[in-house]
Structure 1
């Protein structure tokens, strides 16, 4: 009968969780939600996160992640750099070959996403590439929120030196 209370007490007593999971509340005001896409895999959001210190044993310093805006399905992978080549390989090998080609992808204006290599890939696949407003990360808020949540979870699961964050990324 006290299971919910027991679970809350157990979670509240987890020191790494308490240190790394920040509570965030929205400021009061009018909400301006974006219209949801017509279906899954229609609008995806992609971003690099990092550099994360320390570098892992495998040399990874960044995380590239992609979120389906409608279903909230996330694909994340630890990578060594944040180049256009890395983003292209991730899209082809970890996204398109496994799940199919999306209709539209939203990214920030980083050079890794504005590079000719990315534009050629999107044009070849027939994918619409949308850019978020410069210096306005809220445009791509869903992936930015995932990155913030992921930081706390990874920190709670890592070893003390935090050199294995790429190994716990899948959890």
Structure 2
């Protein structure tokens, strides 16, 4: 027996295969990473070279191009179009020997697991596509019997979150710490430059203050920049402001940059001043 040597990192050596046809006349296209055992599946109605290429383009747009692809001798994988696709992306294409599927053993083993899951779904009369999605979440989140790590952890350097509670390891590697320090430093430099260019200053709004709200939809050039109805500040959380319309009582959320303080002093008018004034005027009239 000859065993394949483990690649140096994820997404170096990959294997692809097709399963089907299923009773629904669909096919399942499978691609597996030899390092992490991470895999993705795609449901296909046709299995032409162009369809396989389109599925791989979708996967590679998210994960990048692998170094090599191992495939069987199906027409899809031996066509000139597929060879050209791999060549243009600088991917080495290896086709297995005829009648020797063991050469592509990893993906063949994965196919058995997928087929078993589909048979269970068929027996239980469940939606097989939904069962396939659930299986993929479970598979990529479960430690592999050989590596002892989950495929997602080895492939993405992080654990997939599933329904089970997780205890995250919050320790970072030296490379990760350097990246975080660099990210923070450059963000602070960008903030200082933007604040200086805009002459920005701290702006605080207190609960109870009156403001005008910027009009975001102007009907014409003569429309006011701010709505004429005043609003009262209900809360302010780091510039995320809740306001209550003084006429309708409706509560809205706006960024602090879209608000303008109402000039002048505000106080609650409960109507007592008018009553006192009226009483005073009446007393003066009676005395006259």
RMSD: 1.6
Task: Give structure 2 stretches of 5+ with no counterpart.
Answer: 135-288
Contact in 2 for aligned 1:44/1:66 (Cα 8 Å): yes
Instruction: Tell me the residue number matched to 1:84.
Output: 49
Give the paired residue count.
Answer: 134
Deviations along 1:83-121, one digit per CA (max 9) or x if unpaired, are: 11111001001x110111100000001001111111111
Structure 1 gap ranges (5+): 1-30
Describe how 1:1-171 pairs up with structure 2 within 5 A. Answer: 31-53=1-23, 55=24, 61-93=26-58, 95-158=59-122, 160=124, 164-171=127-134
SS in 2 for 1:169: helix
Task: Find the residue that maps to 1:153 and give its secondary structure.
Answer: helix
Q: Quick check: which one's strand share is greater?
A: 2
Asked if the contact 2:19–2:111 (Cα under 8 Å) also holds between the matched residues in 1, the reply is: yes
Higher relative contact order (CA 8 A, sep 6+): 1
Which structure would you say has the larger Rg?
2
**TM-score normalised by structure 2 residue count:** 0.44
Given that residues 70 and 93 in structure 2 are in contact (C-alpha distance below 8 angstroms), is that contact kept between their aligned partners in structure 1? Answer: yes
What SS does the corresponding residue of 1:170 show, helix, strand or coil?
helix
